[in-house]
Amino acid sequence: MLESLVVGAGFAGAVCARQLAKKGHRVRVIDRRTHIGGNAFDEFDAHGVLVHRYGPHIFHTNSKRIFEFLSDFTNWRYYEHRVLASVQNQLLPIPINRTTLNRLYNLNLDESGVLDFLEKVRLPRNPLRNSEDVVLSSVGAELCDLFFSNYTLKQWGVPLRDLSAGVASRIPTRSGDDDRYFTDSFQFMPGEGYARMFERILDHPNIVLELGTDFESVDRKNFGLVIFSGPIDAYFNFCFGRLPYRSLRFDHQHLEVEQFQSVGTVNFPNQHEYTRITEFKHLTGQRVSGTSIVYEYPMSEGEPYYPIPRPENEVLFKRYQELAKKESDVIFVGRLAQYRYYNMDQVVGAALAATDSL
């Protein structure tokens, strides 16, 4: 049997490679970057602090199967992510909860008071056609402006109304005091980091890893099955035009203080060009002197990080997907190959599903 080729050593590629290797395939994994882990890659910076090179990655899932699959390759550190938004000179919990409203408006609402408050301010929309409809329907115009409108414009480069409803639906509104960013049943960080976990996923006698190698430089004829986790439009030489992606510039900094901010991430909806600052020690639990933080500046050009969930982009993606269906022996998996705003666990799920059926 010809060797299988896996393009990309991120979650999609690494999980597929491992599953194929387990089934007895010989697998070659290539990545054009010089490291494994894709965008989840982490490393110790010059000051010995474990940082995520491509921005903060917090693992969370409701899938026992996905959690158990990854647990073969890492121990875990329990971590619940908390985010504050800098709004009107205060740091307020986001997702919006009882504390957010009481502190913003100097109120003392109980849970049913919060529900009454939201009922008064919300602007019901039916159907929910886009992200603006979703936010207005749940919190009304003022909270939408304070917390979401400008943040979205910065993050995505388009107004809320131009984004699919699914983007805003990811952020709930809460009547109680729960200030966790995620409520999934499994919320953990890999105990020794993501890169170490990927090393173990790819450590199998049937897997050969080649870093710094682009798919373009490989002779396809030497391989049987191909798993492709790069951008689907690039695979087809952009024949229908480019799928839009949002990029980011990461500004990593180190400070000689024990703690820079009180929670993992602080969002800046209405000030600055950056969207948020993350302090890694909160995420990793590392005990080390000094601290490292990262500022995220959204960009329209650069490395493709986020597929932009808009209806017209979905139409363009569907055209590429039709071509993909006709490619024999190629499976397209992952955030860029499936043009989905997937979290890490969803990519693991997609990779397991793709290889289960082989």
- CB of residue 107 to ligand FAD, shortest distance in Å: 32
User: Which of 83, 62, 260, 279 minimizes the C-alpha distance to 174?
Assistant: 83
Q: How far is the CB of 334 from ligand FAD (least distance, A)?
A: 3
C-beta closer to ligand FAD: residue 11 or 268 = 11
Nearest approach, Cβ of 228 to ligand FAD (angstroms)?
Answer: 8
Minimum distance of ligand FAD from residue 41's CB (angstroms): 8
Distance CA 238, CA 222 (A): 24
Residues 233 and 243: beta-carbon distance below 8 Å: yes
Q: Is 32 in the site for ligand FAD (CB under 6 A)?
A: yes
Please tell me the distance from the alpha carbon of residue 222 to that of residue 200, in angstroms, as a whole number.
Answer: 26
Helix or strand or coil: residue 35?
coil
Residue 281's SS3 state is: helix
Q: Which of 31, 42, 132, 162 binds ligand FAD (CB under 6 A)?
A: 31
* 54 counts as binding ligand FAD under rule CB under 6 A: yes
CB of 299 to ligand FAD, least distance (A): 12
Is there binding between residue 55 and ligand FAD (CB under 6 A)? Answer: yes
- Tokens representing 108 are 């003392």
Give yes or no for residue 10 binding ligand FAD (CB under 6 A): yes
Give the nearest distance from C-beta 90 to ligand FAD in angstroms: 24
Nearer to ligand FAD, 13 or 140 (CB): 13
Decide: is 12 part of the binding site for ligand FAD (CB under 6 A). Answer: yes
Contact between 165 and 133 under an 8 Å Cβ cutoff? The reply is yes
CB atoms within 10 A of CB 242: 11
Is residue 50 a contact residue for ligand FAD (CB under 6 A)?
no
Q: Segment near ligand FAD (CB under 6 A), from 51-59, 137-145, 258-266, 287-295?
A: 51-59
Cα-trace Rg, the chain: 21
Helix axis angle, 344-356 relative to 64-71, nearest 10°? Answer: 90
Query: CA–CA separation, 240 vs 237, rounded Å?
Result: 9
Is residue 128 within 8 A of residue 137, CB to CB? The reply is yes
- With CB under 6 A as the rule, give the number of residues binding ligand FAD: 33
Residue ranges binding ligand FAD (CB under 6 A): 7-13, 30-33, 38-40, 54-58, 214-215, 229-230, 248, 305, 334-336, 342-345, 347
